[in-house]
Amino acid sequence: MQITKAGEYALLGISYLALKGSDTWVMVEEIRQKQGISRSFLAKIFQSLSRAGLVLSQRGNRGGFRLSRPAEQINILEVLEAVEGRMALQKCLEEPCGCSKAKTCVVSPILNKAQEKVKEVFRNTSLADLTAKEQKKEPIRDDRLKMASAKPLPRQIESDSGFSVVLHD
């Protein structure tokens, strides 16, 4: 199992919607610019997210995409499976593979256990969890920038004998 660029971009795109709020319509072009993703690729990804019922779409000047429900109610597994299909470490874990060793396979049980743990992490992580760190970032105010730049940085001077002195201007 490897998450493709489509899965990664789906998470980036839908996370951007989560940051904007579930009632805000956002154009694909805005998401593309903010996330640095190809417009056509992103449009296909959002079609998949829309078909899965994770986002709503609306045409026109005030159109775009928005979350279909609050970010707390959309988990990462839903997003990834909407774009990637069902997640499986090995094909035989999700569908009959016709393997002659299927009934006696010693590898399958441990792969299944690992797969369930990965899915559990994704299932238990919501978009709100994913974007929580980003939402807590505090913008740097101009007055803090001025204060920070007003203080000169200390300088360290080393002598020939190996001693060093830190000067505060």
Q: Which domains does the chain have, with CATH numbers?
A: 5-105+118-141 (1.10.10.10)
For the stretch 117-164, pLDDT in tens is 999 999 999 999 988 877 665 444 444 444 444 445 555 555 555 554
Query: What's the pLDDT score for residue 169?
Result: 46
- What's the pTM value of the predicted model, to 2 decimals? 0.72
Residues in Cβ contact with 58 at an 8 Å cutoff, skipping those fewer than 6 apart: 25, 64, 65, 66
Alpha carbons 164 and 166: distance in angstroms, whole number: 7
Q: What is the pLDDT along the chain (169 residues), one digit of tens a residue?
A: 688 999 999 999 999 999 998 788 999 999 999 998 999 999 999 999 999 999 999 888 777 999 999 999 999 999 999 999 988 777 666 666 667 776 778 888 888 888 889 999 999 999 999 888 776 654 444 444 444 444 455 555 555 555 544 454 4
The count of other CB atoms within 10 Å of the CB of residue 126 is: 18
* Per-chain mean pLDDT for the chain: 80
Contacts of 128-137 with C-beta under 8 Å, sequence gap 24+, read 128/18, 128/70, 128/71, 128/72, 130/11, 130/15, 130/18, 130/76, 131/15, 131/18, 131/19, 131/71, 134/15, 134/19, 135/19
